[in-house]
Amino acid sequence: MTLVNGLKPDSQSQHELAYICTECGTVVEPLLVEFPPRFGGSRYVQRRCQCTLQKNIDAIERAKNFERNQRYERYFSFSTLGKRFNSKSFENFNASAKTSAAVKKAKQFVNKTLNATTDEERAQGLILIGPVGTGKSHLAAATFNALKESKACIFVNVPELLERIRASYSSKSNESEEDIINAVKRCDVLILDDFGAERHKGDDDWATEKLFTIIDFRYRNMRPIFGTTNCTPDSLEDKIGPRIMSRLREICDLTPCLGEDYRSRQAFERRA
């Protein structure tokens, strides 16, 4: 049998259909395929070399990675992490007995988000509740930094998010309300810092309606939310209304993050 280089589609016999791949030099044997009798019955057909198939797979994967990176960069542009929180991690968090439950829950959230196998597991969120200065934002930033390489995450301060939406109404704005809301609705993980610090005028006011649009979409589409708040659950409900709070209670673990004001302690230590 004499082997030729490359595919030879018009050949019919098994020997004629075998060829040497011009890319890697491998001998590629034909494949016997069972066709119905009306289509000629069984016959050999040439196969693509495995190296060619792998190149196609690699090209598709590169295209997917490019699309994913573009999507991640677009979502990251909506984040308001800030320089102070860029380097925050679980490792540099100053934990205490009163914050241990919050640290554990935040780490579990990260692990579940990365390894969940069902929508139900992936959809379960977390809200850290406690007074100012106990490290809630640090843990939220640590969660974002742990996930940002593999998930499309947005970290945003709630009052800043609402202000950004308001600013989009200006004719001078470079972004639309639809762009902003779609980003926070559809990203893999939404981290809402300082929930309840925004101003509300009642259950049907503008801020409440915008937050409801975001929370309800993520609730219905099983997309997780990580939040922080200085409010108690009851006072948070008074601010954002029962429609939003009912959904958050169902899809988020409400976890205390207590302790003394870390910022005040640092200021005291600097003066000492």
Q: Domain residue spans in the chain?
A: 1-74, 79-271
Please compute the mean of the pLDDT values over residues 191-209 and round it to a whole number.
83
Q: What is the token pair recorded at 163?
A: 């202000």
CA 170 to each of CA 174, 202, 213, 214, 221: distance values in angstroms, whole numbers, following the listed order: 9, 25, 21, 21, 31
Distance CA 65, CA 68 (A): 5
Name the range with the highest mean pLDDT among 18-32, 62-76, 92-106: 92-106
What's the pLDDT at 166? 92
pLDDT, one tens digit per residue, over 206-237 is 999 999 999 999 999 999 999 999 999 999 99
Beta pairing partners, 155: 191
Question: What is the mean pLDDT of the segment spanning 86-99?
Answer: 92
Look up residue 258 and give its two tokens. 């207590």
pLDDT at 76: 63
Work out the pLDDT band at 9, boundaries 50, 70, 90: very low
> Residue 145: which region, alpha, beta or left (left: phi > 0; alpha: psi -120 to 50)?
alpha
Is residue 272 scored above 60 in pLDDT? no
DSSP sequence for 107-140: HHHHHHHHH--SHHHHH-EEEEE--TTSSHHHHH
* pLDDT score of 6 more than 80: no
Contact 177, 183 (CB under 8 A): no
User: What is the pLDDT at residue 197?
Assistant: 87
Mean pLDDT of the chain: 85
Rounded alpha-carbon distances, angstroms, from residue 191 to 2, 98, 143, 180: 65, 22, 9, 14
Judged against a pLDDT cut of 50, whether residue 193 lies above it is answered with yes
CA–CA separation, 20 vs 196, rounded Å? 68
pLDDT of 149 above 90: no
SS3 214: helix
**pTM reported for the whole predicted model:** 0.72
Predicted confidence (pLDDT) at residue 5 exceeds the cutoff of 80 = no
252 or 77: which carries more pLDDT confidence? 252
Has residue 40 got a pLDDT over 90? no
Distance CA 66, CA 94 (A): 37
Fold of 79-271: Rossmann fold (3.40.50)
Question: Token pair 């692990």 is at which residue?
Answer: 111
